[in-house]
């Protein structure tokens, strides 16, 4: 085994305090200090279609040393989780009920099931990502800040680890990291939401009142919009909610399908007539995705406006539409309230979650309050055909404006990539992303920047640093970082420009590169891939590669791709393993930089200060507990790379737990 490179600096234990070392990459700065009985519901369990989960038949490519082996034998004292159990799963969930697919079964290929052990499944539970204590979770709903507490509501199934019986779970936090579970906020207990309390958004009025609009699925499966308000506005925990006597406040308008009308946005105040606006996602008969716009003064009575906020042909049903302003001013560094007036220095972001491919797309453009229309700055990268929040496992996202931090914060649902059978065995499914700040990238002027909220850095404990490590073509360098399942990694790479130019000129232009269609980190090119291997075992039989890949085009210019490869993340076979990624803008004079958050079965990566982001779910069988490792690698054939600076911190647990009196 290659000896691990020792760190040049060992920061020691910080007791959760932020590292004294200056952070490598941009971050949101916060100024000032932050203020420090369940209802019984009817069961609507849907009959599952019994079938055998299909094996994933992806070819097992090995990057450096050793191919995929057979099944992992149980360790002494460990037991196969499914021993003696019959687990029924479904071929599909959610589509028949009028929402996007909620099962991984259609994406799995082959047949059979892996013998997961209890220890393997227990390791997958995260330490600092938000998740309920048990069962299924999906979309984040109605996030807001109220009287000293951050609130997160979310789609939850109180009855099991698969989609169905959707209620609203609820949790609160002082810092967006340490969460406390509260009793259910809303349950399906009326005819208008008996088949599900679905996605919604919160609007805080100038007088402090909260209007929570959400989609309900009626007893006939029709999607309608509903209003709820806090039953006790004096309660900072917002533990009780009252549904409006006027519900449903909106029903599908003529020409809109009964199951194509969902997910109202946070409202914004139109400066032209001082009335509120909301947008709702839908599609037309030509399969164009669109956002309807309604006007209201009291959140009970609404007028459908004659114009659409926006429409894009061929994009299909728009779910979880989000619409908000961002500052285009240089060095602004702050977020904007949803009702910030359009004008010089203000752009608007329109985002839609596409039912067709279950990815979140956004575009930056201009909102005209006189016509209630929005237009993209660049039609070639319009909503649904251009930029994405995240090029991995990330969907149904929702932002809110944090008035304390003066920032816009983004949440995203991170689903599973394993089988439904495995989820039932472990008793839970899905996570929320680390909350991210969102800013306009004023350097490029064409994309957003996403970055973990600064409070995450308070989880940093032991820190190690490695400087100036040379990576020759074909090399793998282990890093001595100790425990490697809860990490915050910041890395900067430099490519030897002279050698890169000479090699590319000699070989001519390379073929275009696509992360998702590539062989991942195993596919060698002149100028890539190179980066880090995380959640890896000593023999590299399991590894998740986070890497850059450079390509010189026919015009002689370099393009940079940022990718995350889970092909070799596990020896198990009942998983969806993929290479995710996209191109990332790199400006003149910039080094290549990446931040990686590793939290057991989730890897979130942010390239070039958050211009391109990737999230993967990984389920190793060997690279778990004390066997997880971190490596640097350079699998390019014709370029030397220097790891200019690598900083790695072990992260503490967020100790997410029930609120003390929430029973």
| 471-522 residue pLDDT tens | 999 999 999 999 999 999 999 999 986 655 555 444 556 789 999 999 999 9
Which pLDDT score is estimated for 660?
A: 92
Report helix, strand or coil for 380. Answer: helix
Domain architecture of the chain: domains with CATH: 139-452 (2.115.10.20), 462-499+511-651 (2.60.120.560)
Cβ(483)–Cβ(627) under 8 Å?
Answer: no
> What is the number of alpha carbons within 13 Å of residue 63 lying toward its C-beta?
37
- In the predicted model, what is the mean pLDDT of the chain? 88
Which residues in 407-418 are b (16+ Cβ under 10 Å) and which e? Answer: bbbbbbbbbbbb
End-to-end CA distance of the chain: 52
Which pLDDT score is estimated for 140?
A: 98
Look up residue 370 and give its DSSP letter: T
Which pLDDT score is estimated for 88?
A: 64
CB under 8 Å to 192, separation ≥6 — which residues?
Answer: 216, 218, 219, 224, 226, 247, 248
Model confidence at 105, pLDDT cuts 50, 70, 90, reads low
Cβ(154)–Cβ(160) under 8 Å?
Answer: no
| 411-420 residue pLDDT tens | 999 999 999 9
Just list the catalytic residues.
139
Whether the ω angle into residue 51 lies within 30 degrees of 0, i.e. cis, is: no
How is residue 79 written in tokens?
Answer: 């037991």
| 486-498 residue pLDDT tens | 999 999 999 986 6
Which pLDDT score is estimated for 6?
A: 77
| 49-76 residue pLDDT tens | 333 333 333 333 333 333 333 333 444 4
Range of weakest confidence among 87-91, 339-343, 582-586, 632-636: 87-91
User: Torsion over CA of 144, 147, 150 and 152, rounded to 10 degrees?
Assistant: -60
Mean pLDDT computed over 271-285: 96
Mean pLDDT computed over 300-305: 98
Mean pLDDT computed over 240-266: 98
* Token pair 């071929």: residue: 91
The residues that bridge with 431 in the sheet, in sequence order, are 414
Cβ(528)–Cβ(561) under 8 Å?
Answer: yes
Whether the ω angle into residue 38 lies within 30 degrees of 0, i.e. cis, is: no
| 147-200 residue pLDDT tens | 999 999 999 999 999 999 999 999 999 999 999 999 999 999 999 999 999 999
């Amino acid at each position: 085994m290659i000896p691990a490179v020792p760190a040049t600096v060992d920061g020691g234990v910080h007791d959760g305090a932020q590292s004294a070392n200056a952070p490598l990459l941009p971050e949101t700065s916060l100024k000032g200090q932050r203020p420090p009985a369940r209802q019984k519901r009817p069961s609507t369990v849907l009959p599952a279609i019994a079938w055998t989960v299909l094996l994933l038949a992806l070819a097992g490519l090995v990057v450096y040393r050793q191919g995929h082996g057979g099944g992992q034998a149980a360790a002494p004292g460990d037991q196969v989780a499914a021993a003696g159990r019959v687990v029924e799963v479904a071929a599909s969930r959610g589509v028949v009920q009028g929402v996007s697919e909620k099962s991984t079964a259609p994406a799995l290929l082959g047949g059979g099931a892996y013998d997961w052990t209890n220890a393997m499944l227990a390791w997958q539970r995260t330490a600092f990502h938000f998740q309920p204590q048990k069962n299924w979770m999906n979309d984040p709903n109605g996030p807001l800040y109220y009287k000293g507490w951050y609130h997160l509501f979310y789609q939850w199934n109180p009855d099991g680890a698969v989609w169905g019986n959707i209620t609203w779970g609820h949790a609160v936090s002082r810092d967006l990291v340490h969460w406390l579970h509260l009793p259910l906020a809303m349950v399906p207990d009326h005819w208008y939401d008996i088949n599900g309390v679905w996605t919604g958004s919160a609007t805080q009025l100038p007088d402090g009142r909260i209007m929570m609009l959400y989609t309900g699925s009626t007893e006939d499966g029709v999607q309608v919009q509903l209003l709820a308000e806090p039953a006790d506005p004096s309660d900072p925990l917002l533990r009780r909610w009252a549904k409006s006597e006027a519900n449903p406040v909106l029903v599908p308008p003529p020409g809109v399908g009964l199951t194509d009308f969902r997910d109202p946005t946070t409202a914004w105040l139109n400066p032209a007539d001082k009335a509120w606006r909301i947008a709702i996602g839908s599609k037309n008969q030509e399969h164009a995705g669109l956002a309807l716009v309604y006007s209201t003064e009291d959140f009970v009575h609404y007028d459908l406006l004659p114009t659409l906020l926006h429409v894009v042909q061929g994009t299909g049903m728009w779910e979880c539409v989000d619409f908000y302003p961002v500052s285009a001013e240089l060095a602004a560094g702050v977020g904007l309230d949803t009702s910030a007036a359009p004008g010089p220095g203000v752009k608007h972001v329109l985002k839609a979650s596409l039912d067709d491919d279950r990815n979140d797309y956004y575009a930056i453009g201009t909102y005209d309050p006189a016509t209630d229309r929005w237009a993209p700055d660049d039609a070639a990268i319009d909503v649904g055909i251009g930029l994405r929040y995240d090029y991995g496992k990330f969907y149904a996202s929702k932002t809110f404006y944090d008035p304390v931090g003066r920032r816009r914060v983004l949440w995203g649902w991170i689903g599973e990539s394993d089988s439904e059978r495995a989820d039932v065995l472990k008793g839970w499914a899905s996570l929320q992303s680390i909350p991210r700040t969102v800013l306009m990238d004023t350097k490029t002027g064409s994309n957003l920047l996403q970055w973990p909220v600064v409070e995450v850095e308070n989880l940093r404990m032991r820190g190690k640093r490695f400087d100036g490590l040379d990576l020759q073509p074909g090399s793998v360098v282990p890093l001595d970082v100790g425990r490697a399942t809860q990490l915050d990694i910041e890395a900067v790479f430099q490519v030897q420009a002279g050698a890169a130019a000479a090699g590319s000129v000699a070989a001519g232009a390379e073929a275009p590169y696509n992360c998702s269609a590539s062989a991942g980190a195993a596919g060698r090119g002149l100028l890539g891939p190179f980066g880090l291997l995380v959640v890896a075992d000593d023999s590299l039989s399991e590894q998740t590669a986070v890497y850059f890949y450079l390509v010189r085009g026919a015009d002689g210019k370099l393009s940079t791709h940022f990718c995350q490869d889970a092909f070799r993340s596990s020896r198990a076979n009942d998983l969806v393993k993929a290479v995710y990624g996209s191109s990332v803008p790199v400006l003149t004079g910039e080094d290549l930089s990446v931040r990686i958050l590793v939290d057991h079965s989730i890897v979130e990566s942010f390239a070039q200060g958050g211009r391109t982001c990737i999230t993967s779910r990984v389920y190793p069988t060997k690279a778990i507990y004390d066997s997880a490792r971190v490596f640097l690698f350079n699998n390019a054939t014709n370029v030397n790379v220097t790891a200019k600076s690598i900083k790695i911190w072990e992260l503490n647990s967020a100790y997410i737990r029930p609120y003390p009196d929430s029973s």
